[in-house]
Amino acid sequence: MVALLDEAELRRRLVDEGPYAKLDVVTVTGSTNTDLSAAAAAGAPDRTLLFAEEQQAGRGRMRRTWISPRGYGLHVSAVLRPASVPQGALGWLPLLAGIALAEVVRDACGVPAALKWPNDLLLGGGDAWRKGAGILAEAVSTADGVAIVVGIGVNVHHGPGELPTGAGGLPATSLAEQGADVDRQEFAVRLLTALAAVDDLWREHAGDVLASGLLDRYQRLCGTLGQQVRVELGGNDLLGTATGIDADGRLLVRGADGAGTPVSAGDVVHLRPR
C-alpha cells in the first residue's frame, strides 16, 4: 500500500521553512492545472502549490488527458508570477521545470533521465527510453498581469498495469519500473525546492538563459539534440536533425537541405536511425 502525502509536513518544509507562499493537498481532482488556473485568475499569490493524490482528468499538451491511481504518482502545479522577467521569456518556464525534474531524478533516484523537448521526461536510457513524466505550462490572465501555472506529473509507484493511459507518444514507464525505491514525500520536497532554485536563478538574471547558464544546463539534459526527428505541425511535418535550443527556447532543426528551422511548438517524434 502506497503512503499518502503529509500535507502538514510539506507545508512546514516548503512554505514555513521554504520558498513557497501557499500549499494545499487534495485527495482527488480533475486537474491541478485547471484548479490553480482558476485560483490564479482569482488572485492566488506567486508560488502557490497544489498537490493531488489522484487526478481523474489530468491534462497534457495537444489536449491529451490521462488518469493515475491514488497515491501512485506525484501530481503538482505551481502558480508563478515572475515580475522581473519579460513576458516574451515566459515560454522558458516548462523547460526550467524540466531542468529541475531531470536533475532531481538523476541525483535522488539514480535513474537515467533525459528531456524530450519541450515537456517530457524520459527514463531508461539507450534504445529503451520511455516517458516517465510530463510538464504543462499555461498562461492565465489576471488583474495583476499574466501568471503561469506549471504542472508536473511524475509516474512514481506505477507497475506495468497501473501506468497512465491516454498520454500519447512514447510508451509510459515509472520510477519504480526503472528500479527506484522512491519516498514520494521526500521526492516532492526535493523537486519543488529545485524548481524554486532554478526559478530564482532565472529571475535574478531577468530571464536571460545565457547569462544564467540555464540554456547550457537544459541542452546537457536534452535527449532530443542530435536525434533525427519529425516535428508534427498539424499536417506540415518537418523532418531533420535536432541541433540545438536557442535563447528563446525553440528547437533548432536542420533539414536535409542544410537549412535550419526554429520550432516554437509542435509534437516531436524521435526517429530511429535507418
Average pLDDT over residues 64-86: 86
Burial 246-263 (b: 16+ CB within 10 A, else e): eeebbbbbeeeeeeeeeb
Q: Which CATH class is domain 225-271?
A: mainly beta
For 231, the grid coordinates are: 516535428
Q: Output the pLDDT for position 67.
A: 62
Residues 6 or more apart whose Cβ sits within 8 Å of residue 225: 219, 242, 243, 244, 245
Q: Output the pLDDT for position 168.
A: 46
pLDDT of 162 strictly over 80: no
Domain ranges of the chain: 7-220, 225-271
Average pLDDT over residues 1-7: 89
Q: Which residue has cell 533548432?
A: 252
CATH of range 7-220; options 3.30.930.10, 3.30.70.1050, 3.40.50.300, 3.40.50.1100: 3.30.930.10
Strand partners, 50: 24, 77
**β 113-116/120-123 pair status:** antiparallel
Task: Report the C-alpha gap between 42 and 46 in whole angstroms.
Answer: 12
23-32, 60-69, 113-122: range with lowest mean pLDDT: 60-69
Cis peptide before 118 (omega within 30 of 0): yes
Query: Which of 115-129, 137-151, 158-172 is most confident?
Result: 137-151
Instruction: Pick 234 or 248 by higher pLDDT.
Output: 248
pLDDT of 166 strictly over 50: no
Q: Output the pLDDT for position 70.
A: 86
For 257, the grid coordinates are: 537541405
Task: Report the C-alpha gap between 10 and 25 in whole angstroms.
Answer: 9
Task: Report the C-alpha gap between 267 and 233 in whole angstroms.
Answer: 7
**β 22-29/48-59 pair status:** parallel
What would the pLDDT profile of 25-48 be if each residue is shown by its tens digit?
Answer: 999 999 999 999 999 999 999 999
74-78, 127-131, 168-172, 239-243: range with lowest mean pLDDT: 168-172
Q: Output the pLDDT for position 184.
A: 96
The runs of H, that is alpha helices, within 154-231 are 184-204, 214-221
pLDDT of 23 strictly over 60: yes
Average pLDDT over residues 146-163: 90
CB 67 within 8 A of CB 135: no
Secondary element (H or E) of residue 75: strand 73-80
Mean pLDDT of all residues in the chain? 91
For 83, the grid coordinates are: 515580475
pLDDT of 266 strictly over 70: yes
